[in-house]
Structure 1
Amino acid sequence: MQTYPLVPVNYQSIRPGEVWLDTEGKPIQAHGFQVTFREGKYYWYGEDKTHTLFGTNRMFGGVRCYSSTDFYNWKDEGRIIEPATDPHSPLHHCQKLERPHILYCAKTGRYVCWLKSQSNDGHFVILEAEHFMGPYHFVRNLKPNGFAVGDFDMYADPDTGKGYVWFERPHWEQICAELSDDYTNVNGRYSEHFVGKVPPFTREAAAHFVMDGKHYIYTSGTTSYTPNPSEVAVFDDYHGEYTVLGNPHIGDEYAHSFCSQITSVIKIPGKDLYVAMADRWLPHTNKTDIPKKDWQSFLTRYKDHRPYPKDFATPKVADRFYTLVNPNQDVYKATYVFLPIVVKDGIPMIEWKDEWKLENYE
């Protein structure tokens, strides 16, 4: 077991891929995450993997949140969503809940959180709160428009107030669906993108952002926690054509997106700087041929795969109490890769840096 100083740490730069400690000297535990900026502070929230250990049934450790004023040093604000104690709850720690996304709904004045549950072929668990830091209350389980769901991203358009969710339909295509006015459901309108791709080519883990008036979306391939090559696409209409621009990682020698999977993009306030933020789920695979070998295995495993059929029934909580964490899910040692986006030939690219500072960008 790796030990840490457990004393206050003062960072003055970002070192992608290295263990990142909070202000108390503990490893930051917020994976499948989002970073937002509100009222002068950054907030980083994601999956707490502290106790998601091999041989346990603790798939879900809650949603932990950190705050920062400088983007380097992060204070642990605790869990804003706790695992439930009732085994029949969709939030019980045995449920595999991932990738929390929180949107503020101006029409209701409430914060809405969506999580992906890997039960019933995959569905959303939707919560609501009066305050960003909670407490959050369960609203519904949802298969949007009858689709099973995989990794996803969400966005509230500041001009129209409309909400959108992009999610993988396992393992076949990417869906963009419009949200209901209160952001706790979908309104029935959706579009299909990157259709007919099976693993490892299926596009998942969408990370959407707007730059210079254009919409961009980073996606990864589908190889479980093993890293793989990313793609970036551009579009003008949420339900229109998405044009693929290629692999955004410059010099991606090992075809593994710098051993990471992008989960979020943020524009740094007051700067012309966008940061692509990613999980390094399996640090031991960095600069190895493990990702390429896994890629090949997925080609064989999913050769004849077809998408899960639509199911409009309300998803029920599966009994996962005796489902244990296997070695491939033991990712509590996962680290993070934060890198600045550089525009080359009109394409938002990502270039490796061993260390970098916000102060170096205007």
Structure 2
Amino acid sequence: MAKEEKTFYPQRVWNDTEGNPINAHGGGVLYHDGVYYWFGEHKADTTCSAMVGVTCYASKNLTEWENKGVALAVDADDSESDIAMGCILERPKVVYNKKTGKFVMWFHLELKDKGYESARYGVAVSDVVTGPYRFLRSGRANPGKFSLGVTAADIAALDTLVEERLAYRTAEWQEAVKQGLYMKRDFEGGQMARDQTVFVDDDGKAYHIFSSEENLTLHIAELTDDYLYHTGRYARMAPGGENEAPAIFKKDGTYWMITSGCTGWAPNEARMFSASHIMGPWKQHPNPCVGTDAAITFGGQSTYIIKVENRKDAYIFMGDIWRPEHPNDSRYLWLPIRFQDGRPVLEWMDSWSLDYFRVK
């Protein structure tokens, strides 16, 4: 096998086993029965709208990827469908439910021709890991529910917050956001759900983590045992902190989350948080990136963190280098995570291999 087939080259074009560029952006990786499955957005050349859907690739070594086709197709026939061709379908993540034997996909959805005003999640399910996945529904998250820890006094205080009376970006507005200005606004119809991921904990409980409240606050929402619905229990993380692109992993009992700021398609400085319980409280740490271009996350943005099987303390930061003028030419930014004084660190490498990690 050629060396190049065993090596990760961040920023370069990555080809599948047939020699075609891999088209799976904003994605995540599921490990199942000895195989890694990479799900991501199929991007067109001139639009970020979804013209195909979610693609799936399979690999046993994380470097050679076989195209398994379209796992979830957009609806080309029904323009009124939630997932009509031309909608915005982003950041798909697939998890396996051991109790039901189903594969469940969650994603961020914006209805066709609505820009980014819909701010919905979408859910699809399949009996087979590669699909096809059957679309179930889309919606806003946890309607009629306040976040964990909100007291009767807090709710009374929230009743005094009126968005129209607050000057945007003032100190008063910022404090109101932290208190729950937009959570209160969206209480009845449900909370906004944009950039997202799904995390399955050691006990089998799953959590949907997404940017909410006009992308100002992250929500960590517990899922039902079948992973198909929210339970109504959720926590607000870094209220008013403007975080998106959440990527989470757990090591030695500590939850780590890497996010980005909200600067559209332009890269920015990564943020990092830790907690001893997934519902918080979360502590913010300095930017995990070090070295040249650390202040712009090496030109990329987080999307997922892969746990490498059969390697000790082996985690891969999975990101995207967006090219909105030609979305299908967006590049993949995968880097090994090293630990310094117990904290995750990301350092640029022109190339690297799984030999970076020790075999168990």
TM over 0.5: same fold?
A: yes
* Counterpart for residue 138 of structure 1: 135
Q: Within 5 Å, which residues of 2 pair with 1:343-354?
A: 343-354=339-350
Specify the SS of the correspondent of 1:241: coil
**What SS is found at the alignment partner of 2:293?**
coil
Q: What is aligned with 2:46?
A: 53
Match of 2:320 in 1: 279
- CA distance, structure 2, for counterparts of residue 193 and residue 121 of structure 1: 22
Provide the residue aligned with 2:101 in structure 1.
109
CA distance in 1, matches of 2:259, 2:295: 14
State the match for 2:235 in structure 1: 191
How many angstroms apart in 2 are the aligned matches of 1:79 and 1:163? 25
Matched, 1:204 2:248: no
Residue type at the aligned position of 1:171: N
C-alpha deviations, 1:264-285, integer Å up to 9, x for none? 1112111122111111113xxx
Is structure 2 residue 254 aligned with structure 1 residue 214? yes
Give 2:222's aligned residue.
178
Q: In structure 2, which of residues 211, 220, 228 is the aligned counterpart of residue 168 of structure 1?
A: 211
8 Å contact from structure 1 (residues 43, 68) kept in 2: yes
Aligned to 2:308: 268
- 1:92 Cα offset (Å): 1.8
Shift of 1:141: 1.4
Distance 1:39 1:149, change over 3 A: same
1:63 pairs, out of 54, 75, 93, with 54
Separation in structure 1 between the aligned mates of residue 52 and residue 248 of structure 2, nearest angstrom: 26
Matched-pair contact (CA < 8 Å) for 2:29–2:93:
no
Question: Which is helix-richer, 1 or 2?
Answer: 2
Runs (5+) with no aligned partner, structure 1: 1-7, 283-327
Give the counterpart letter for 1:69 in structure 2: K
- Find the counterpart in structure 1 of residue 162 from structure 2: none
Secondary structure in structure 1 of the residue aligned to 2:10: coil
Question: Aligned pair in 2 of structure 1 residues 271, 254: CA closer, same or farther (>3 Å)?
Answer: closer
Question: Is 1:99 the counterpart of 2:91 in the alignment?
Answer: yes
Equivalent pairs counted in the alignment come to 302
Amino acid at match of 2:65: W
8 Å CA contact 2:30, 2:95 repeated in 1: no
Retained in 2: the 8 A contact 1:45–1:64? Answer: yes
1:221/1:228 contact within 8 Å kept:
yes
The reply on whether 1:17 has 2:60 as its aligned counterpart is no
SS in 1 for 2:348: coil
Instruction: State the Cα distance separating 1:127 from its structure 2 match.
Output: 1.1
Quote the residue 1:304 is aligned against: none
Q: 1:123 aligns with which of 120, 144, 152?
A: 120
Post-superposition offset of 1:111: 1.4
Matched to 2:206, the amino acid is G
Deviation digits for residues 82-107 of structure 1 (CA, Å, limit 9, x no counterpart) = 12122111222210011111122223
Question: SS at the partner of 1:359?
Answer: helix
- CA distance in 1 between counterparts of 2:126 and 2:108 reads 18
Q: Distance in 1 between matches of 2:49 and 2:262?
A: 24
Could you tell me how far 1:17 is from its partner in structure 2? 0.8
Distance in 2 between residues matched to 1:329 and 1:194, nearest whole Å: 32
Could you tell me whether the CA contact under 8 Å between 2:50 and 2:74 is conserved in 1? no
CA distance in 1, matches of 2:346, 2:94: 26
* Long gaps (5+) in structure 2: 112-116, 143-189
Contact 1:280 1:337 in 2 (8 A): yes
CA contact (8 A) 1:64 1:81 kept: yes
Amino acid at match of 2:343: I
Q: Compute the displacement of 1:156 (Å).
A: 1.7
Aligned to 1:40: 34
d(CA) in 2 for partners of 1:130 and 1:279?
A: 29
Task: Report how far residue 61 of structure 1 moved.
Answer: 2.2
Larger RCO, structure (CA 8 Å, separation 6 or more) = 1
**Identical residues among aligned pairs (%):** 33
C-alpha contact (below 8 Å) 2:272/2:286 kept by paired residues: yes
Q: Closer, same or farther in 2 for the Cα pair 1:203/1:339, shift >3 Å?
A: same
Give, in whole Å, the separation in 2 of the partners of 1:190 and 1:207: 17
Residue 53 of structure 1, CA deviation: 1.7
